[in-house]
A and B are shown apart, each in its own frame.
Chain A
Amino acid sequence: MWEQIRSNRIRSGFVVAGMGVLLVVAGLALGGALGGGDPGALLLGGVAALGIWFVLWLVSIQGGDRVMLRMAGARRIEKRDHPQLWNVVEEMSIASQLGRMPAVYIVEDPSPNAFATGRKTENAAVAVTTGLLRVCERDELQGVVAHELGHIKNRDVALMVTAGVMMGAIVLLAEVGVRALWFGGGRRRSRSSGGGGAEAILMVVAIVLLILAPILSQLIYFSLSRRREYLADASAALFTRYPEGLASALEKISGVAVPLADQSKVTAPMYIVRPPGPDGAMRATSLTATHPPVAERVRILRSMAGQADARAYERAWHQVTGKGGALMGARTLAASGVALAAAPERAPEPHAETRAARARQASDAFLSASGYARIPCPGCGAILKVPSELAGAVTACPRCGTRFRDE
């Protein structure tokens, strides 16, 4: 995966550098307008812009990896909590040659979704909702996990955090700047010796820039986010050699329009599918969409014509989206070698569990990861899940009413 990481990193590096230029230009414009064309003020503006970015960046890397997990209420699981999920993550870690297995978390949420966090491979973590575990067969789960590990392998989390901070700095600068120009510009005007004309032009230029910069940077940010989603889909197809698995999972996920509890445009890019809005509707595509439309992603995966490598995905992507330009770098495509065949249609699992059984297993895993003990009732034999706080207390079985002390 060396070539893929490197060529994508270079391209994304250019994008982020472009945003950085935008940030500095906005800062310069602000400084210039406030200082009435004074080069010292210009410089100060640029330095201030970089300063804002630096501070925001520092804040973002403080425990940033675990913030999202905590926000979603995720619980870390061990292998015994949900062996199938654990095994799937382990299988995909091997297939992606990640080196070490990421931490595995479960989120209690009926909306099927999954996300990955961790700027470095050592801190990597992948989380799935109980909704996803309920809805997906093993092959589909494998596709979803492969997509998330693809994000980790392609260093997307670090990239989106960097771009997000950049965008945040630009937006902040623009808001502050427009206000400063509006109220503070008037005072300075009298000090300048350059005359009204140049001043006014500078102000106009600055205001225009400060309005355009955040818009432009957001467009760049969301376009980058969508591109990385395609790449993660391509990685998933490559790792599993079974694009149909992910395609079918995406279909199922988008068909269940239950709103996700953790709603935010900031965390949305990390999920595999854009979480549905509070009213349950999947919002229409727009330039500010963090994810490409699910239908399109599914079509691309299904147009790969029995191949599973990077070139096949790129071909399918061109065919379905009709976009010009390249999705992946030339090096990635060249390095993908001989066309890799996708695995043939898999035989269905012999003991395919029902949805109810999967749902039960998923919530059991979440409870067990949350420290709940499984106590059999001495009266009727039903298995009770008791939170750790009640250890040693007298509990009553809800089914038969027997009271006993939970040792």
Chain B
Amino acid sequence: MGEGFLLLFVLIAMGALALAVIWFIAIYNGLVRARNEKDNGWSQIDVQLKRRHDLIPNLVETAKGYMKHERETLEAVIQARNAALAARGPAAAGRAEGALGAAMTGFFGLAESYPELKANTNFLSLQEELSSTENKIGFARQAYNDSATRYNNRRETFPANLVSGGFAKAELFEIEVAGEREVPQVQF
């Protein structure tokens, strides 16, 4: 009789242990997936930023012929773009990209006063490309922040917080330039 109970007890204990191991693996894998999703979100931002860098010189060249008296603005845009290209490290890059975004907003606001430029189909398609790239940068940032938040939540809530010692907290990508938060006011 006694051996029967002992056997049962051992079986139950082994079953519980197996379940605990499976549970641990599932949680660990979940954390890894969440972290990978977050990292993937980060690299998406880079892809869109690079695209913006590539599009800008073309846009400025097209505009030069029409905006002959706006040389300073055009040069400022090119300089901001080169600065962003050269920036190293997330903090510096964040600042440089924010400055470039502000420069682009100023440029498009200015382009409103040049009807001939706006009639140029090349310029229009470039503008659509660039404004779409600006959107994509925004959405990539948003997607990264969403996945970073999910990852952090998963890390910090029970039961995962018991095993998440090896996982670092993710930083959210904050906007670096105060001016970028404002909705651009177009004056006529």
Binding site for B on A (CB under 8 A): 2-3, 83-84, 87-88, 90-92, 94-97, 239, 241, 334-335, 337-338, 340, 344-347, 350-351
Q: Are B136 and A94 in contact (CB under 8 A)?
A: yes
Please indicate the chain A residues that have their CB under 8 angstroms from the CB of B147 in the complex. Answer: 97
Q: A2-B150, A241-B142, A351-B124 are in contact. Are A90 and B132 (CB under 8 A)?
A: yes
Q: Do residues B142 and A337 form an inter-chain contact, with CB atoms below 8 A?
A: no
**Is the CB–CB distance between B132 and A97 below 8 Å?**
no
With A2-B33, A2-B34 in contact, do A95 and B183 touch (Cβ < 8 Å)?
Answer: no
Chain B residues lying within 8 Å of A344, measured Cβ to Cβ, are: 183
B32 shortest CB reach to chain A, Å = 12
Q: Which residues of A contact B124 (CB under 8 A)?
A: 351
Which residues 111-144 of B sit at the A interface, judged by CB distance below 8 A? 112, 118, 124-125, 128-129, 132, 135-136, 139-140, 142-143
Can you give 24 A-B contacts (C-beta < 8 A)? A2-B33, A2-B34, A83-B132, A84-B128, A90-B132, A91-B132, A91-B135, A92-B139, A94-B44, A94-B48, A94-B143, A95-B139, A97-B143, A97-B147, A241-B142, A334-B157, A335-B150, A337-B150, A346-B183, A347-B183, A347-B185, A347-B186, A350-B112, A350-B186
Bound state CA distance, A241 and B143, in angstroms?
A: 11
Q: In the bound complex, how far is the Cα of B41 from the Cα of A77, in angstroms?
A: 27
Contact of B136 among A91, A241, A337, A340 (CB under 8 A): A91
Q: CA A88 – CA B128 in complex, angstroms? A: 11
Shortest distance in angstroms between B129's beta carbon and chain A's nearest beta carbon? 7
Residues in B with CB closer than 8 Å to A335 are: 150, 153
The residue from A83, A92, A338 contacting B125, defined by CB atoms under 8 A apart: A83
Q: List chain B residues, Cβ under 8 A from A97.
A: 37, 40-41, 143, 146-147
Q: Is the CB of B132 within 8 A of A87?
A: yes
Known: A83-B125, A334-B153, A340-B146. 17 other contacts (CB 8 A): A2-B150, A84-B128, A87-B128, A87-B129, A87-B135, A87-B136, A90-B132, A92-B139, A94-B139, A94-B143, A95-B143, A97-B146, A239-B139, A335-B150, A335-B153, A347-B184, A351-B118
Q: How many residues of B contact A (CB 8 A)?
A: 32
B108 within 8 A of A: yes
Bound Cα distance from A126 to B128, whole angstroms: 21
Contacts of A2 in B (CB 8 A): 30, 33-34, 37, 150
Within 8 A of A (CB), among B162-186: 183-186
Residue of A83, A91, A334 near B139 (CB, 8 A) is A91
Residues from chain B with a CB closer than 8 A to the CB of A337 are 149-150, 153
Residue with the greatest number of chain A CB neighbours at <10 A, chosen from B140, B143, B149, B157: B143
Give the residue name and chain of the A residue nearest to B147 (CB).
Answer: A97
B-chain residues with CB within 8 Å of residue A340 when the two chains form the complex: 146
Residues on the A chain within 8 Å of B149, using CB: 337-338
Complex Cα spacing A347 to B186, Å: 9
Docked Cα-Cα span, A237 to B112, in Å, equals: 30
Residues of A within 8 A of B153 (CB): 334-335, 337
Q: Which residues of B contact A346 (CB under 8 A)?
A: 183
Complex CA distance for A95 and B187, rounded to whole angstroms = 31
Q: Which residues of A contact B37 (CB under 8 A)?
A: 2, 97
User: Shortest Cβ distance from B120 into chain A, in angstroms?
Assistant: 12
Quote the shortest CB–CB distance from B113 to chain A (angstroms): 11
Q: Please give the distance in Å from B37's CB to the nearest CB on chain A.
A: 7
Chain A residue with minimal CB distance to B145?
A340
Q: What is the minimal beta-carbon distance from B188 to any residue of chain A, in angstroms?
A: 11
User: Which residues from chain A contact B150 at a C-beta distance below 8 Å?
Assistant: 2-3, 335, 337
Q: Which residue of B lies closest to A94 (CB)?
A: B139
Residue of B with least CB distance to A348: B186
Please provide the chain B residues from 28 to 57 with a CB less than 8 Å away from any CB of chain A in the complex.
30, 33-34, 37, 40-41, 44, 48
| CA A92 to CA B129, docked complex, whole Å | 15
- Within 8 Å CB of B140, what residues of A? 94
Known contacts: A347-B184, A351-B118. The answer to whether A83 contacts B129 by CB under 8 A is: yes
Closest chain-A Cβ to B160's Cβ sits at a distance in Å of: 12
CB closest residue in chain A, given B152: A337
Annotate B69-91 by CB proximity to A: 1 below 8 A, 0 otherwise. Answer: 00000000000000000000000
